[in-house]
Chain A
Amino acid sequence: MHRRIVCTRCGCLCDDIDVEIVQNKFRKVENACRRGAAFLRASDDRQRRARCSVAGAETGPESAIDNAGQLLAKARRPLVFGLDNSTLAAQAAGIELARSLKAVIDDTSSFCHGSVVRRIFEAQLPTCSLADVRDQADLLVYWGSNPHHAHPRHLSNLAYYPRERYRQTGWIPDARLVCIETRETETTSIADSVIKVAPGDDGLFIRGVIDSAQGTSSAREANAFVEMVRKSRLCVIFVGLGLIYALDGHLQPFVDMVAKLQEYTRMAVIPLVGHFNMRGFNRSLYYDGQTGFVNKVSFAAGAAHGKRFSFLEQLRTQAPDCVLIIGSNPFASLPRSLMSNLRGIPVICLDPFTTLTTQSADVVVGTAISGIEVEGDAVRMDGEEVHLPPAKTADSPSDEAVLQELLQRIRS
């Protein structure tokens, strides 16, 4: 059986993946990148899939959900984390569960692109769709990111190569590619201009650009960058984690710089989101959850927001007495010294794959893979909603079904 599916490995949500499925397994995968192909193949590998367990002992989904429900029901300060690799429907169920539990809810955006997305929602940063990037943008800036490794088809499928007009020999895209990077990468090797900054010094370059735009800078690279922007029709800045971490999450100088450059040309900012539906979570919590916040929310009394409700602070202060992690792997992505604070706190994990987090959890519920085994919708990194048709059937329940089941148990 041949199908065209959407890859849910990263925030690109490539929708041109052709697969051949035999006996509910991928026999052929075409158009996917290395990450996407490995992800799809892994879905067929039973060894890689998470099994339901309680206290390390394998069990069925019913028993695992039952134990998870009991732990959540008796928790006084529960924390819900993740949901960035879930469909919009599952995110809505997760937010509703957190509300019912009067829990704190947060996702990975609180220590990556959340501040960018919030400013886009609040119109502090301009943005555009990836279709606009393809059709109109003539200056693409990758800042603190190497899509070759993080989003391997971003250049080829979404931003740089798929253009209507080409220049010179007929195959070079009619857009200027600029990298602002700390090191040489595969992406800098094909860029028209590379602006090298020392690790952590992005703020100095931003200051230089603002000064240059005001005519008070003598910094050569900042002046050259402003000149490139000045000559462009649409300049799109793809924000990578390198920039966010260099600014330590304080984006105001970047916002000021973009506002200044908007005096010369049309500017747009798109966060290079890693998890396929992180932006969907931000939207779900901000708008659909009616909190007005993209992350770090406590439902203990209404909907409060603050740094103390971030996953990082919750762990540092060992505030929660039960943690529910959905489709996220903080044991791999966060400092081990911080994650060790979870010792003694019950952890429930819903995930399709075996990860360091499932290995550390007290209760594991193996779930179906969103968008591959479960139909749904997601929000791409540029804010466009994408439908995810299922490729094959699942042996495990969807995370939405598990969250709805938990919600019912909590309410009863």
Chain B
Amino acid sequence: MTPASRERSGSSIRIVSHRDVFDDLGRGESCPVGDCHHSAATVRMSPTDMEAMQIEDGATIELRTDAGTLVARTCADTSCQPGFGYMAVGPTINVLTSYDPDRSHLPNLKVVDVEIRVTGQPATTTTVTPGPSGVIEEINAQAE
């Protein structure tokens, strides 16, 4: 894992994953909240970073690592530290994570450095198909 103080370019960010009970419910079992899948494909970011990167609240961005690419919706959150984005742990973010024993003993499931690119303006409605792969494919399709 690289140090937190590592310098980043303007279009990169460090994503921290965390447990989200609503994503967990929707992914594994029955979901009492209709749009819980949205939380899996949402990146919460510092408004300072979003302003610097000219990202509007709710815009879709492309997150890219060597392992894969994911399109997710942004959400401005003043509790987020600049330089970091926060996403629910699970199969959606695991498109971006990887395991390289030469770099670390464990996979980078909790902290992953990503390059970001704005792909769309804030959407008012999004149709999301249940299922982890469905989330990615549907939102990708919308961004295109």
Residues of A within 8 A of B (CB): 34-35, 38-39, 41-42, 45, 48, 111, 146, 148-150, 152, 182-185, 198-201, 241-242, 244-246, 248-250, 307, 312-313, 316, 329, 331-338, 353, 355-356
Alpha-carbon separation in the docked complex, A18 to B16 (Å): 37
| Residues from 8 to 24 in B contacting A, C-beta threshold 8 Å | 14, 16, 18-21, 24
A-B contact pairs, 14 of them (CB 8 A): A35-B24, A38-B31, A42-B28, A150-B19, A183-B18, A242-B110, A245-B106, A248-B106, A329-B28, A334-B97, A334-B109, A335-B107, A338-B107, A356-B132
Please report whether the interface of chain A is mostly helix, strand, loop or mixed according to DSSP.
helix
Q: Which of A183, A199, A241 has the most CB of B within 10 A?
A: A199
Known: A183-B18, A336-B94, A337-B67. A355 touches B28 (CB 8 A): yes
Q: Could you list 20 further interchain pairs (A-B, Cβ under 8 angstroms) beyond the known A42-B29, A332-B132, A336-B91?
A: A34-B32, A38-B30, A38-B32, A39-B28, A48-B30, A149-B20, A182-B16, A201-B3, A201-B4, A249-B105, A249-B106, A307-B101, A312-B99, A312-B107, A316-B99, A332-B27, A333-B109, A334-B94, A335-B97, A337-B68
**Complex contact A245–B111 (CB within 8 A):** yes
Known: A183-B16, A355-B28. A198 touches B81 (CB 8 A): yes
**Complex contact A333–B86 (CB within 8 A):** no
User: Which of B19, B32, B101 is within 8 Å of A149, CB to CB?
Assistant: B19
Residues of B within 8 A of A (CB): 1, 3-5, 14, 16, 18-21, 24-25, 27-32, 67-68, 79-81, 84, 86, 89-91, 94-95, 97-99, 101, 104-107, 109-111, 132-133
**Complex contact A356–B99 (CB within 8 A):** no
Known: A183-B79, A199-B84. A48 touches B29 (CB 8 A): yes
Known: A198-B4, A337-B98. A146 touches B19 (CB 8 A): yes
Residue in chain A with minimal CB distance to B79: A184
Alpha-carbon separation in the docked complex, A248 to B97 (Å): 15
Alpha-carbon separation in the docked complex, A72 to B110 (Å): 34
Alpha-carbon separation in the docked complex, A130 to B113 (Å): 37
Shortest distance between the CB of A2 and any CB in chain B (Å): 22
Alpha-carbon separation in the docked complex, A95 to B12 (Å): 45
Residue in chain B with minimal CB distance to A188: B79
**Complex contact A332–B94 (CB within 8 A):** yes
User: Which of A42, A329, A334 is within 8 Å of B107, CB to CB?
Assistant: A334
Known: A41-B30, A336-B91. A111 touches B16 (CB 8 A): no
Alpha-carbon separation in the docked complex, A313 to B102 (Å): 12
Residue in chain B with minimal CB distance to A240: B19
Alpha-carbon separation in the docked complex, A241 to B110 (Å): 8
Shortest distance between the CB of A312 and any CB in chain B (Å): 6
**Complex contact B14–A199 (CB within 8 A):** yes
Alpha-carbon separation in the docked complex, A200 to B83 (Å): 13
Alpha-carbon separation in the docked complex, A27 to B18 (Å): 32
**Which residues of A have CB within 8 Å of B1?**
200, 246, 248
**Which residues of A have CB within 8 Å of B109?**
111, 245, 333-335
Residue in chain A with minimal CB distance to B31: A38
Alpha-carbon separation in the docked complex, A246 to B19 (Å): 16
Alpha-carbon separation in the docked complex, A146 to B107 (Å): 20
Residue in chain B with minimal CB distance to A201: B4
**Complex contact B29–A353 (CB within 8 A):** yes
**Which residues of B have CB within 8 Å of A42?**
28-30
**Complex contact A199–B98 (CB within 8 A):** no
Alpha-carbon separation in the docked complex, A45 to B130 (Å): 16
**Complex contact B107–A149 (CB within 8 A):** no
Shortest distance between the CB of B65 and any CB in chain A (Å): 9
Shortest distance between the CB of B28 and any CB in chain A (Å): 7
**Complex contact B18–A335 (CB within 8 A):** no
Shortest distance between the CB of A332 and any CB in chain B (Å): 4
Alpha-carbon separation in the docked complex, A350 to B19 (Å): 25
**Complex contact A336–B106 (CB within 8 A):** no
User: Which of A45, A199, A333, A356 is within 8 Å of B16, CB to CB?
Assistant: A199
Shortest distance between the CB of B5 and any CB in chain A (Å): 8
Residue in chain A with minimal CB distance to B88: A149
Q: Which of B4, B19, B89 has the most CB of A within 10 A?
A: B19
**Complex contact B84–A335 (CB within 8 A):** no
**Which residues of A have CB within 8 Å of B84?**
182-183, 199
**Complex contact A248–B105 (CB within 8 A):** yes
